[in-house]
Structures are given as C-alpha cells and as structure tokens.
Amino acid sequence: MAGDNQVVRRFPFCIGRAADNDWCLDAEGIWDYHFMLEWQKNEGFTLQTFEEAFAAVNDQPQTNARLRNGDIISFGSAKVQFWLAAPRQRGLRLREGFVWALVALVTLGQFALIHWLLGAK
C-alpha cells in the first residue's frame, strides 16, 4: 500500500484491523482498534491510541499526541505520514475583472482629460 493516500473527511477517524474502522489495515502488529484521529478546536489534530495499543509519532512512543503537518505515525508494521491537504484557492476572476475595468476607466479618463485640456486653447 506504499504511496496510497487516505483522505479523512470526518472526525473522529478510527484506524485498525477490524472491518468497522474508518480505515481498515490488515498488517502485522495492528490491533483491531489501534488508534483514532480527532479534531479538537483548541488542540488541533490529535492521535489517541486505544487501550494497550502502541503508536509512535516521529519515533516517540505516544498514547495521546498532538499532530503536526508531516508527522510520521508508526504502528504495528505500518508507517503513515499525517499531511494536511493544500488549501483551495477561491476564484479571483471577478476581482481581476474589476481591477482591469478600473484600469481601463482611469486610462480613458486620462485621455479625455488630455483631449479637453488640448482643446481648451
């Protein structure tokens, strides 16, 4: 499964060997219910292992850990990298169109002013 991406859209997100987990991994050393990822408003993303399960974040054993972008989670014979998706950029066409219209209006205004000043002689 190397190189696979797992997109998480709902929290809590449970990982383990059992079929009712959100992500079911059948690898050596993974418990039926190994750990879960949670989103907490004040803490951010956290990892919480289930009872007696082992997980390491960046090679440091953890039962409850705050995750940061790029952290490596090791559990059983598996390693996964916690990564945040790139943010979606809102379309800027309306704003860009407004700016170009404003530039064109100012340019036309300058031509009109020059024409008026030259015609005033």
Q: For 10-49, what is each residue's pLDDT tens digit?
A: 899 999 999 999 999 888 999 999 999 999 888 899 999 9
Answer yes or no: is 65 within a domain: yes
- Strand ordering across the sheet containing 35-40: 23-24, 13-16, 35-40, 44-49, 64-66
Answer yes or no: is 1 within a domain: no
- The residues, any chain, with a CB within 8 Å of residue 35's CB and separated by 6 or more, are 14, 15, 16, 47, 48, 49, 50, 53, 55, 73, 75
CATH of the domain at 61: 2.60.200.20
Answer yes or no: is 77 within a domain: yes
Residues 19, 59 share a domain: yes
Confidence of residue 91 (pLDDT cuts 50, 70, 90): confident
Domain hosting residue 120, numbered range: 89-121
Question: Which pLDDT value is given to residue 102?
Answer: 97
Query: How many C-beta atoms surround the C-beta of residue 45 within 10 A?
Result: 19
